[in-house]
Amino acid sequence: MEVMRYMRRLMEVLTLYGSLSPPDTAAWISAAGADYMKVDSCCGNQNHEAAFSDYRKWRNGLNATGRQIYFSLCGSNTWYAPVGASLGNSWRIAGDGTNWPALSNCINLNARLQKYAQPGAWNDPDLLQGTGIGSNDKKTNPRGCFDPTTMPQTQGCYQSEQQSRAQFSMWCVMSASLIISADVGQVSDYSLETWGNEEMIAVNQQFRAGGPFQGERLVGGDLVYNKANKTGSGHNVWGKLLPEGEFALVFISNENLPTDITCDEKYFGALLGTSHSSHYSVRDLWKHENIGTISEPFSLTAKQVPKHGGVSAYRLFPKN
């Protein structure tokens, strides 16, 4: 209730007196007890240095409060990544991920930005969108406030539950923020199971000492999905190094048919380098079961990964 009281008062001040400066607004946010603040750049300056200067004012204002507040920049461009760590805790790298085609593009863009991710500073490929059920859509949520006919970016193109699980898997291997954009009281049990998968969340939250701290694309190129004719192309394997010599692999497909996807010795070598175990046990992170052991020369195939956002995810543990 205190937070809501402060926020209502802030809106009153903004309405009566015009926009407050970033330091003044940051002070209000801090006084409200906020732990997270997102500053969107809608209609913001697209000149790089001017945009960075604007965000520095917010950064300085938040730092001056003395309260630890996660600062999320929403610049929606990859050109924030090289300087993102000097400005805030995360930075949007693409436009709104309102559907699976847009989120596929977010994945493609983030494949080029691994080196900029580090503890306290992360590439942000946007929110966990779910399926549209539990959003503010009047059609699916009795408490909603939006008419989908006025939201052309989502017409006929909400994610399937499978695609929502693919997004969650990829956000985990990419060390992205796991922030749900839905009313969790309205979503399906499948969605709750997806977002509550503690084994996948551990992949998101854990890192090999010294990095890299974001997973990398090992196999394949860009993922494409055309919402107009519901066709796609491309498949990937992403890998992320984890503590104690462990690592995760995520297999994802936008192909038009179920597809076998293989991570072979070449790509294992690209991820692990020359220092690694000669044997690994493999655990399926969605089935929550151990599925066997692989040995040198390493190769792992995800069989018949479903089309248009199918996914498989594994954690591999070194064996002596």
Sign of CA dihedral 274, 200, 256, 137: negative
- Structural domains of the chain, ranges and CATH numbers in brackets: 93-319 (2.60.40.1180)
Q: Residue 270's CB: how many other CB atoms inside 10 A?
A: 13
pLDDT value at position 19? Answer: 60
Spatial CB neighbours of 197, under 8 Å, sequence gap ≥ 6: 168, 285, 286
Specify the residue for token string 């790509």. 267
pLDDT value at position 279? Answer: 97
Q: Residue 151's CB: how many other CB atoms inside 10 A?
A: 14
Q: Mean pLDDT lowest for which of 14-18, 186-190, 256-260?
A: 14-18
Q: Does 255 score more than 70 pLDDT?
A: yes
pLDDT value at position 17? Answer: 42
Q: Does 184 score more than 60 pLDDT?
A: yes
Kindly indicate the confidence band of residue 151, based on its pLDDT and cuts at 50, 70 and 90. Answer: low
Between CA 48 and CA 66 the distance in angstroms is 28
Between CA 136 and CA 128 the distance in angstroms is 14
Phi first, then psi: give them for residue 15, nearest 5 degrees. -70, -40
Task: Note whether 220 and 237 are within 8 A (CB).
Answer: yes
Q: Mean pLDDT lowest for which of 21-35, 130-144, 167-181?
A: 130-144
Kindly indicate the confidence band of residue 21, based on its pLDDT and cuts at 50, 70 and 90. Answer: confident
186-204 residue pLDDT tens = 889 999 999 999 999 999 9
**Predicted TM-score (pTM) above 0.85:** yes
Q: Which one is predicted more confidently, 2 or 204?
A: 204
Percent over 70 (pLDDT), the chain: 90
- Picking from 181, 139, 185, 144, the residue whose alpha carbon sits closest to that of residue 164 is 181
Which residues pair with residue 280 across a beta bridge? 294, 318
Residue type (1 letter), 78: T
Q: Residue 4's CB: how many other CB atoms inside 10 A?
A: 9
Kindly indicate the confidence band of residue 16, based on its pLDDT and cuts at 50, 70 and 90. Answer: very low
**Residues 78-96: what's their mean pLDDT?**
97
Per DSSP, the chain holds a count of helices (H) and strands (E) of 9, 14
pLDDT value at position 154? Answer: 59
pLDDT value at position 239? Answer: 98
Q: Is 78 helix (H, G, I), strand (E, B) or coil?
A: helix
**Residues 103-124: what's their mean pLDDT?**
98
Q: Does 62 score more than 90 pLDDT?
A: yes
Q: Does 263 score more than 80 pLDDT?
A: yes
List, in sequence order, every beta strand (DSSP E) within 166-253.
216-219, 224-226, 231-233, 235-241, 247-253
Q: What are the angstrom distances between the C-alpha of 286 and each of 39, 127, 137, 194, 315?
A: 34, 21, 29, 9, 10
Task: Note whether 297 and 265 are within 8 A (CB).
Answer: yes
If you average pLDDT over every residue of the chain, what do you get?
91
pLDDT value at position 13? Answer: 52
Between CA 297 and CA 138 the distance in angstroms is 54
Q: Residue 199's CB: how many other CB atoms inside 10 A?
A: 15
pLDDT value at position 12? Answer: 59
Laid out side by side, the sheet with 216-219 consists of 216-219, 235-241, 247-253, 310-319, 279-284, 289-295
Laid out side by side, the sheet with 70-74 consists of 36-40, 70-74, 90-92, 122-124
